[in-house]
């Protein structure tokens, strides 16, 4: 069932996930389309998330945006400091702004980073854990991971995990998506684009997610004509032949990455699965270590496994 509508306010609205924004020309969504999108969300009872560009939109837009409860997603490069303060989620497209940013410990942040920089700058990330309410790391080139990268990612996760453990012992509870989410989850918590989340783009069309818009993939309707997803079951976990057997509950299960790497929206790549399992396994170790020092943690069970790609375990399904 649909629950969320993401609205891109401009063709250059920041990415907050794996995809890159391929458009460079400013093109704000038409005010009429924006109003129709809001009306559609109201009728369908959807939570709205507005994604902003880095330049200031005309005042008329703020009036329309404020006509509905919503979440604001804003980049750290946004020209408007008021908007950055008002944002519910601030996105760092790279590491440049992070050290001198005015962090708010109540707020959620997204760091979009290539793998190589994450491996190199892991120590910087540790210092930021105490500054954010929540930090989501999104690796922008997951599909290029090699065996050597898996080893480097494993080491980076172990190092971050040690830092999180120390903070727990000090009475803090930092949230880092790739390590702490799995400790709290008892079921899949994926992106769910095309199933629970859809996106309205500045061209007035609705897409499975922003990546499908920027990659010029198929549209699934419009706010005025309604939506019609072909083979909607393919976006559901129950019809994902590998993922439905998996317990890397924190995995994004990104349908756009699936389509890009395997040509099937419900079939993940080896790289997506192994990175998610390295996270899952380090979360398991972290959970055990925090429990050992007597800190209260949820009853989550993360069993030991002997595979990193669920496909390698398919004979036991
Ligand atoms: S790790 Fe692989 S199988 Fe598991 S949810 Fe993620 S993409 Fe699906």
Handedness of CA 152, 158, 161, 166 (dihedral sign): negative
Span from the CA of 67 to the centroid of ligand 1 (angstroms): 38
Residues 125, 160: contact at Cβ < 8 Å?
A: yes
Contact residues for 189 (Cβ-Cβ < 8 A; gap 6+): 181, 249, 250
Exposed/middle/buried for residue 59 (C-beta within 10 Å: 0-12, 13-18, 19+): exposed
Span from the CA of 142 to the centroid of ligand 1 (angstroms): 13
How many whole angstroms separate alpha carbon 48 and alpha carbon 166? Answer: 37
DSSP assigned state of 111: E
pLDDT in the model for residue 304: 94
Span from the CA of 242 to the centroid of ligand 1 (angstroms): 7
How many whole angstroms separate alpha carbon 92 and alpha carbon 83? Answer: 14
How many whole angstroms separate alpha carbon 204 and alpha carbon 24? Answer: 18
> What burial letters (b/e) apply to 30-55, b meaning 16+ CB within 10 Å?
eeebbebbbebbeeeebbbbbbbbbe
Q: Which residues pair with 50 in a beta bridge?
A: 7, 72
Nearest 5°: phi and psi at 92? -100, 115
Angle at 177 between CA 172 and CA 178, to 5 degrees: 110
Ligand 1 atom closest to Cα of residue 268: 7
Establish whether residue 257 lines the binding site of ligand 1, counting it when its CB lies within 6 angstroms of any ligand atom. Answer: no
Q: Which of 268, 277, 282 to mutate to test the pocket of ligand 1 (most atoms within 8 A of CB)?
A: 268
Instruction: Count CB-CB contacts under 10 A for residue 317.
Output: 10
Residues 31, 9: contact at Cβ < 8 Å?
A: no
Contact residues for 48 (Cβ-Cβ < 8 A; gap 6+): 4, 5, 7, 37, 38, 41, 68, 69, 70, 71
Span from the CA of 189 to the centroid of ligand 1 (angstroms): 11
Establish whether residue 74 lines the binding site of ligand 1, counting it when its CB lies within 6 angstroms of any ligand atom. Answer: no
Residue closest by Cα to atom 5 of ligand 1: 243
Span from the CA of 272 to the centroid of ligand 1 (angstroms): 7
Span from the CA of 238 to the centroid of ligand 1 (angstroms): 13
Smallest CA-to-CA distance from 224 within 10, 36, 44 is with 36
Residue closest by Cα to atom 3 of ligand 1: 243
Span from the CA of 120 to the centroid of ligand 1 (angstroms): 26
How many whole angstroms separate alpha carbon 19 and alpha carbon 82? Answer: 26
Exposed/middle/buried for residue 173 (C-beta within 10 Å: 0-12, 13-18, 19+): exposed
Structure tokens that stand for 286 in this block: 């972290």
Establish whether residue 253 lines the binding site of ligand 1, counting it when its CB lies within 6 angstroms of any ligand atom. Answer: yes
Contact residues for 241 (Cβ-Cβ < 8 A; gap 6+): 266, 267
Span from the CA of 177 to the centroid of ligand 1 (angstroms): 15
Instruction: Count CB-CB contacts under 10 A for residue 25.
Output: 7
Residue closest by Cα to atom 8 of ligand 1: 243
Q: Give the pLDDT means over successive 10-residue stretches in the chain (317 positions).
A: 97 98 97 98 98 96 97 97 96 91 94 97 92 96 97 98 95 96 95 97 98 94 95 95 95 96 96 98 96 82 93 81
Establish whether residue 211 lines the binding site of ligand 1, counting it when its CB lies within 6 angstroms of any ligand atom. Answer: no
Ligand 1 atom closest to Cα of residue 247: 4
pLDDT in the model for residue 19: 97
DSSP 3-state of 315:
helix
> What burial letters (b/e) apply to 234-259, b meaning 16+ CB within 10 Å?
bbeeeebebbeebbbbbbbbbbbbbb
Single pTM value for the model:
0.95
């Amino acid at each position: 069932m649909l629950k969320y509508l993401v609205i891109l306010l401009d063709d250059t609205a920041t990415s907050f996930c794996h995809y890159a924004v391929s458009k460079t020309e400013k093109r704000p969504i038409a005010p009429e389309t924006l109003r129709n999108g809001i009306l559609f969300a109201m009728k369908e009872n959807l939570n709205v998330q507005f994604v902003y560009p880095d330049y200031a939109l005309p005042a008329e837009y703020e009036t329309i945006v404020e006509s509905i409860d919503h979440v604001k997603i804003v980049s750290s490069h946004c020209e408007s400091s008021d908007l950055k303060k008002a944002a519910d989620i601030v996105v760092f497209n790279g590491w440049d702004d992070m050290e001198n940013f005015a962090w708010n410990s109540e707020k959620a942040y997204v760091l979009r980073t290539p793998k190589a920089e994450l491996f190199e700058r892991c120590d910087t990330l540790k210092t930021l854990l105490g500054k954010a309410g929540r930090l989501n790391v999104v690796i922008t080139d997951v599909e290029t991971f090699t065996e050597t990268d898996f080893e480097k990612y494993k080491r980076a996760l172990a190092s971050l995990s040690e830092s999180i453990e120390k903070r727990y012992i000090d009475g803090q509870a930092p949230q880092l998506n790739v390590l702490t989410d799995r400790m709290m989850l008892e079921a899949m918590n994926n992106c769910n684009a095309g199933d629970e989340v859809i996106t309205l783009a500045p061209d007035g069309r609705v897409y499975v997610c922003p990546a499908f818009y920027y990659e010029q993939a198929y549209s699934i309707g419009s706010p005025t004509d309604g939506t019609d997803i072909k083979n909607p079951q393919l976006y559901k976990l129950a019809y994902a032949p590998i993922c439905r057997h998996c317990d890397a509950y924190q995995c994004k299960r990104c349908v756009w990455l699936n389509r890009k790497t395997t040509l099937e929206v419900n079939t993940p790549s080896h790289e997506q699965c192994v990175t998610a399992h390295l996270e899952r396994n380090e979360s398991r170790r972290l959970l055990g270590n925090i429990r050992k020092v007597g800190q209260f943690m949820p009853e989550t069970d993360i069993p030991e496994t002997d595979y990193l790609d669920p496909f390698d375990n398919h004979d036991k399904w």
